[in-house]
Amino acid sequence: MVKLTDIARKLNISPSTVSRALNQKGRISPELRRLILETADEFQYQPNEYARFLKTNQTTTIGVILPDISNIFYGKLLKGIDATARNNGFSVIFCDSDEDLANERTYYEMLKSKNVCGIVVAPAGVSDIYDNASAEDHIVFVDSAPSGSSSHPVITIDNYRAAYELTEHLVSLGRSRIYAIVGPRCETSANDRVRGYLDCLAAHGLPAEGHVFECEHDYASGVKAMQKILSLHTPDAIFTENNLLAYGALSVIRAYRLTIPSDLSIACFDASDDFGMMSVAFTTIIQPVAEFGKKAVELIVGMNHSQDSYQGPMEILMEYAFIRGQST
């Protein structure tokens, strides 16, 4: 590795001058400057980030914590994060919390100890992990906040409105026994979706008592919840709060030999079907997840450029799409 002093020695000048030329700081005669830049180029000089950090305490590394990278939803998110980071000269340290808050906490501590210049988190659930985080930690949440009153921005969609719209759609098709399978309501996004669903039912005078089945976010939970619903009730529509819950519910619906959508409609969030490979084309809300990633990185870049702490909105709502499929 060629270093600063190598190019200083070659040019018979001091390392200080080379450093200033490279960092565009302080006054430098234009010719010298040009000469230094040329030589640096010729030598293929790459500043040693570790040494630089020791003085500046600044990195160009963004930390990312996601709950499950084998879920395509988060794959698209990471893709958006990575592309935007690259365009801004940042690199990405990736952490998969595996839906586990203990892992999430460990990763967060690790990222802090590495002095990353910002952290994008899709929380695995509700926690106090970030309660003592300061504004300088440059944390941005995506999809959901880890607790009700966050002092860090959250990038999401208007979950309340989207859920209302999805439910309204079911009602407009004449469905009246609409049951919901949702993730933990202590999570902000899940709760907003439940509220939208409930308010819509109420607005139409439809029953809602005991209609919400709360569970985890995964496939198996969808299976269990759907079994319970069918054993207790005779729904004519199902609302699920994410894609995996819908897939789990569907497997039970099939086992019961119910026909979609005639016997039962099903509508959900995030069930995109990029290659037309799904056996059911879901009516679904699609979140612009790559945009989430882009926006998150842009926020962090902005936080790093500005001296002041973040002044923007704490909730950043992106546009979603309502997709009418054949499941309703």
Judged by the rule CB under 8 A, the positions of this chain that interact with its own copies are 1, 46, 48-51, 53-54, 61, 64, 68-72, 74-76, 78-79, 82-83, 86, 91-96, 98, 103, 109-110, 113-115, 219, 244, 247-248, 250-251, 275-280, 290
The vertex-286 CA angle with 283 and 292, nearest 5°, equals 170
Q: Are 271 and 287 a contacting pair, CB within 8 Å?
A: no
Binds 23, which of its own copies, DNA, none (CB < 5 to 8 A, cut-off by type)? DNA
Binds 318, which of its own copies, DNA, none (CB < 5 to 8 A, cut-off by type)? none
Cβ 18 to DNA, closest distance in Å? 7
Closer to DNA by Cβ: residue 68 or 137: 137
- Binding residues vs DNA (CB under 7 A): 1, 3-5, 12-17, 19-20, 22-23, 25-29, 32-33, 45, 47-48, 51-52, 54-56
The secondary structure of residue 173, as a DSSP letter, is T
Which DSSP string do the residues of 194-239 spell out, in sequence order? Answer: HHHHHHHHHHTT---TT-EEE--SSHHHHHHHHHHHHHH---SEEE
Closer to DNA by Cβ: residue 58 or 234: 58
Binds 248, which of DNA, its own copies, none (CB < 5 to 8 A, cut-off by type)? its own copies
Cβ 1 to its own copies, closest distance in Å? 8
Residue 212's beta-bridge partner residues? 180
| Token reading at 29 | 């005669």
| Distance, CA of 39 to CA of 45 (rounded, Å) | 8
Binds 103, which of DNA, its own copies, none (CB < 5 to 8 A, cut-off by type)? its own copies
Q: Quick one: how far is CA 10 from the chain centroid? A: 48
22 phi and psi angles, rounded to 5 deg: -65, -35
For residue 326, give Cα distances in angstroms to 200, 250, 259, 282: 22, 13, 11, 6
Closer to DNA by Cβ: residue 16 or 172: 16
Binds 28, which of its own copies, DNA, none (CB < 5 to 8 A, cut-off by type)? DNA
Closer to its own copies by Cβ: residue 30 or 277: 277
In the numeric block, the tokens 């409105």 are attached to 161
* CB contact set of 185 (below 8 Å; sequence gap of 6+): 191, 194, 214
Closer to DNA by Cβ: residue 30 or 313: 30
Binds 279, which of DNA, its own copies, none (CB < 5 to 8 A, cut-off by type)? its own copies
Cβ 160 to DNA, closest distance in Å? 46
